[in-house]
Amino acid sequence: MACAITAGRSEPCKDSLAGLRNVYFINEDIDSSDVIFYNPVLPGDPVITDNVWYVENVASIYKFELKSNENVYDQEIVTSRENGTTFFRQTLTIKLKKQDIATHNAVKTLAYAKPRILVENNEGQFFLVGMFRGCDLTAGSINNGGALGDFSGYSLTLQGEELLPSPFVINGASSFRVGQAINIPLSAASTIVTS
């Protein structure tokens, strides 16, 4: 049977943290030839596509800090027995506090673009969302609130659909390289733009 389960899972300790720390937006399209998957096993063994080691040909990534409990990243498994299909719907919901001109322009650009997104959670794990097909800004609003203590800022929902779940990115933001990652010495790391 080609779809057989090959391992079990023990109940983990109760020491995990939920929530998101940062998101990084990537403008460049990512082709399968740009991705180097981490394969810690013997040469000749199949490549493990759940772990990305490096992503090549990415000039800059744009970091947005998240400091709210309302930032969520979920992956929905969508399967149709009738059609014989399965894909993974990746949904990122973020709230960016306070309005300013730079963020206003960034949100407008996100509405038009199909970015790839690196998501960092509160455990320091990184996931690449919309790796090959990109993400769309599917819902959003620019909020001013009513009362003095209401939320004022940007509420955004971005969604991607991929054949596989978001892979772990082993080296986080430093996995992204300007040129070929496998050249020795390694090509320069992508620029992380924070403001």
Per-residue pLDDT of 58-87, as tens digits, reads: 888 899 999 889 999 999 999 999 999 999
Q: In the structure, what pLDDT confidence band is assigned to residue 175 with cuts at 50, 70 and 90? A: confident
Q: Which of 123, 97, 94 is nearest to 25 (CA)?
A: 94
Q: Are 22 and 67 in contact (CB under 8 A)?
A: no
What pLDDT score was predicted for residue 1? 47
- The whole-chain average pLDDT of the chain stands at 85
Q: Which of 119, 121, 100 is nearest to 19 (CA)?
A: 121
> What strand order describes the sheet that includes 72-80?
72-80, 85-97, 153-162, 135-143
Q: In the structure, what pLDDT confidence band is assigned to residue 184 with cuts at 50, 70 and 90? A: very low
Cα distance between residue 40 and residue 103, in whole Å = 40
Single pTM value for the model: 0.85
**Residue 119 confidence (pLDDT) above 60:** yes
CA distances from 72 to 92, 94, 130, 164 (A): 6, 7, 15, 19
What is the separation, in whole angstroms, between the first and last Cα of the chain?
51
Mean pLDDT of 29-54: 69
Please return the burial class of 144, using the count of CB atoms within 10 Å of its CB with bins 0-12, 13-18 and 19+: exposed
- Higher-scoring residue by pLDDT: 193, 189: 193
What pLDDT score was predicted for residue 98? 93
DSSP label at 68? S
Residue 101 belongs to what H/E stretch? helix 101-112
Q: In the structure, what pLDDT confidence band is assigned to residue 92 with cuts at 50, 70 and 90? A: very high
What pLDDT score was predicted for residue 185? 52
